[in-house]
Amino acid sequence: MKFTQPPEGEYEKHIVPVKGVSSLNFDPYAAEVLTNPYPHYEELREAGPIVWLERYGVYVVSHYNTVRDVLTNPDVFCSSAGVGLSNFHTEKPWRQPSIILEADQPEHTGVRAVFARILSPRALKKLTTTFEAEAETMIDRMLENGECDGVVDLAHAFPIKVFGDAVGIMNEGREHLLPYGDMVFNAFGPVNGRFKECLANLGPATEWIYEACKRENLTDDGFGAAFYAAADAGEITHEGAGLLVRTTLSAGLDTTIFTMGNALVNLGRHPDQWAILRDEPKRARAALEEVLRYDSTFHSFYRTTTREIELEGVKLDKNQKVLVLVASANRDPRHWTEPDKFDVTRKATGNMGFGAGIHGCAGQMIARMEGEIVLRTLATKVETIELLGEPSLHFNNTVRGYTSMPMRITAKKH
Amino acid sequence: MPIITYLLADGTKMNIEAEAGANVMRTAIDADVPGILAECGGAAMCATCHVYVEEEKASIFSEISDVEEEMLECVTEERKPESRLSCQLTIPVGVDQVTVQLPVPQD
């Protein structure tokens, strides 16, 4: 089996603790893997449902059923040790842990309930008209120009505007949100060159976020204000409210931006699939789901064992990090028919692009709403999407997306 | 093997054989039961796997958590005392049969 060799060559080899388990020198964070991870994931799945990554001293799970089992057993595979490679139970985190992402039951439950209420489908319904109007304005402007950048003009511009407004953060300085998110998602991986470069270029982003999350800097009708109101009601602490605003901002922008970019690139590369959506714009939500499955934004994160546990016949020690490769689960032929085919008519629900179980993405409903509105508005107004050259891939340890996507679009004739 | 009976909104009945410890939503998805969308895949975020549990069987399931309660307030169909999110329902060992009624969709 030919796995990607490490570019640096030397690394500390961790010996597999259990005999009979495949032990590989595979680096899921190597640039070559990130460029096109899917063939690598296929090799990994073929090597077994659970494999040891000797470079990092972790197990990796890549089959659909195994990934689902790990994610839906949070008492055994916990989040409080951090959802990155670094173990918060034994190492100091680079920032204060999130009280929702990096927490376990029972502390997690109350916070999650607050989040669920503030970002509930009912609460989101009120935002629909505003989001639709913004999508129409942006897409009309792109159509006037004809040649445009799908990322800059839409995938990036739309969430920065509508999600930023929905949270209620100040307008000035929103560009800092992206390097901050980039840092958060790089930090789920190893301290590699990519991580270090990102940290060095972070600039004032961390300070800006800290200021932006303060109550006095938020509008009084957004999600941010609602978190502080929950603190006033004694459901969470005021410090917790600020951390939830931070989590919402770091988790809710890069991800949505990348998801929309991934939607555009795949619709641009598959004109037949674009035609299906364009002819029936009501398919937008299902098409978005297929984008999340076929080209997941989140590729991997970690869980940590709380006790000895047998997984796929392998005995894992307590405090063992397990890399959960959701983007591989979403391409696993053991679960999906023709997984490498992008098919917007597919029933793609059950994909784990947003994770699964009680730690499944708490913002997934607003993310779906943003994506659905953008795709539906595109399908309603646009006749053709033509990619002009290769879009620019953004390299991050954990999330996948594009920074630039030159394209030409033409309007539907009514 | 326990049987989960899904009474669909149009009156159709589907009997699905499940495993002990099976999840009511997951079993429905695997068997393509119409009317259970389960968009969020069991994260209790979407309120699209709403069912009504027969009253005498209500106690076999775990109590409604705070998160589920928040979501039940968001269901688009009629909320009743028997309302549950099927993603939060696990068939306990020793239970042979459970019936859940699917709600009538509302616009």
**Number of independent structural domains in chain B:** 1
The answer to whether residue B106 is domain-embedded is: no
Q: Which residue of B has its CA nearest to A108?
A: B67
The answer to whether residue B63 is domain-embedded is: yes
Which domains does chain A show, CATH number per domain?
23-411 (1.10.630.10)
Burial A70-86 (b: 16+ CB within 10 A, else e): bbbebebbbbbbbbbbb
pLDDT in tens, B81-103: 999 999 999 999 999 999 999 99
Looking at CA atoms only, how far is residue A402 from chain B in angstroms?
A: 25
The answer to whether residue B81 is domain-embedded is: yes
Whole-angstrom distance, CA of residue A349 vs CA of residue B28: 13
Whole-angstrom distance, CA of residue B76 vs CA of residue B95: 30
Looking at residue B107, what is its pLDDT? 59
With CB atoms and an 8 Å threshold, state whether B46 touches A365: yes
Candidates B39, B42, B44; nearest CB to A116: B44
Whole-angstrom distance, CA of residue A253 vs CA of residue A169: 13
Residues of B in contact with A366 (CB under 8 A): none
- pLDDT tens-place values along chain A, 414 residues long: 444 444 445 678 899 888 889 999 999 999 999 999 999 999 999 999 999 999 999 999 999 999 999 999 999 999 999 999 999 888 887 778 888 888 888 888 888 889 889 998 888 999 999 999 999 999 999 999 999 999 999 999 999 999 999 999 999 999 999 999 999 999 999 999 999 999 999 989 999 999 999 999 999 999 999 999 999 999 999 999 999 999 999 999 999 999 999 999 999 999 999 999 999 999 999 999 999 999 999 999 999 999 999 999 999 999 999 999 999 999 999 999 999 999 999 999 999 999 998 889 989 999 999 999 999 999 999 999 999 999 999 999 999 999 999 999 999 987
Sign of the dihedral defined by the CA atoms of residues A62, A288, A144, A138, in that order: negative
**Cis ω for the linkage preceding A28 (within 30 of 0):** no
The total number of residues shown for chain A amounts to: 414
The total number of residues shown for chain B amounts to: 107
Higher pLDDT, B53 or B21: B53
User: Are A342 and A296 a contacting pair, CB within 8 Å?
Assistant: no
Q: Which residue of A has its CA nearest to B73?
A: A122
Residues of A in contact with B43 (CB under 8 A): 354-362, 364
Distance of CA A42 to the CA centre of its chain: 21
The answer to whether residue B26 is domain-embedded is: yes
Pick from A119, A60, A383: nearest CA to A247: A119
Q: Which helix (H) or strand (E) holds A259?
A: helix A254-269
Best of B25, B37, B45, B49 to disrupt the A interface (most A CBs within 10 Å) is B45
What value, to the nearest 5°, has the Cα angle with vertex A224 and ends A220 and A230? 90
Candidates B42, B67, B73; nearest CB to A356: B42
Structure tokens at A12: 């500390």
Whole-angstrom distance, CA of residue A409 vs CA of residue A160: 22
Whole-angstrom distance, CA of residue A368 vs CA of residue A292: 10
Whole-angstrom distance, CA of residue A177 vs CA of residue A185: 12
A 238-267 → B contacts, CB under 8 A:
none
User: Are A96 and A243 a contacting pair, CB within 8 Å?
Assistant: yes
Q: How many H helices and E strands in chain B? A: 2, 5
Other beta carbons less than 10 A from residue A300's beta carbon = 27
Using DSSP's 3-state secondary structure scheme, residue A131 falls into helix
Pick from B98, B66, B70, B100: nearest CA to B82: B100
Looking at CA atoms only, how far is residue A366 from chain B in angstroms?
A: 10
Whole-angstrom distance, CA of residue A389 vs CA of residue A168: 37
Residues of A in contact with B67 (CB under 8 A): 109, 112-113, 116, 358
B 1-30 → A contacts, CB under 8 A:
29
Task: Kindly give, in sequence order, each residue whose CB lies less than 8 Å from that of residue A354, ignoring residues fewer than 6 positions away.
Answer: A292, A298, A360, A361, A364, A367, B40, B41, B43
The answer to whether residue B75 is domain-embedded is: yes
Q: Are strands B97-101 and A401-404 parallel, antiparallel or unpaired?
A: unpaired
Looking at residue A11, what is its pLDDT? 75
Structure tokens at A300: 């991997």
With CB atoms and an 8 Å threshold, state whether B71 touches A358: no
The answer to whether residue B33 is domain-embedded is: yes
Other beta carbons less than 10 A from residue A19's beta carbon = 6
With CB atoms and an 8 Å threshold, state whether B67 touches A116: yes
Burial A389-408 (b: 16+ CB within 10 A, else e): eebebbbbbbbbbbbbbbbe
B 38-77 → A contacts, CB under 8 A:
38-47, 65-67, 69-71, 73-74, 76
What value, to the nearest 5°, has the Cα angle with vertex A137 and ends A407 and A390? 15
Q: Which residue of A has its CA nearest to B45?
A: A116
Residues of B in contact with A356 (CB under 8 A): 41-43
pLDDT in tens, B60-80: 999 998 889 989 988 889 999
Q: Looking at A187-237, list the stretches that DSSP marks H as alpha helix, in order from N- to C-terminal side.
A: 193-200, 205-212, 223-232
The answer to whether residue B107 is domain-embedded is: no
The answer to whether residue B77 is domain-embedded is: yes
ipTM: 0.85
Domain assignment of residue B42, given as a range: 3-101
Candidates A109, A113, A349; nearest CB to B41: A349
> Which CATH number fits the domain that encloses residue B71?
3.10.20.30
Whole-angstrom distance, CA of residue A296 vs CA of residue A327: 6
Residues of B in contact with A113 (CB under 8 A): 65-67, 69-70
Candidates B37, B66, B76; nearest CB to A113: B66
Burial A139-173 (b: 16+ CB within 10 A, else e): beebbeeeebbbbebbbbbbbbbbbbbbbbbeeee
Whole-angstrom distance, CA of residue B13 vs CA of residue A82: 45
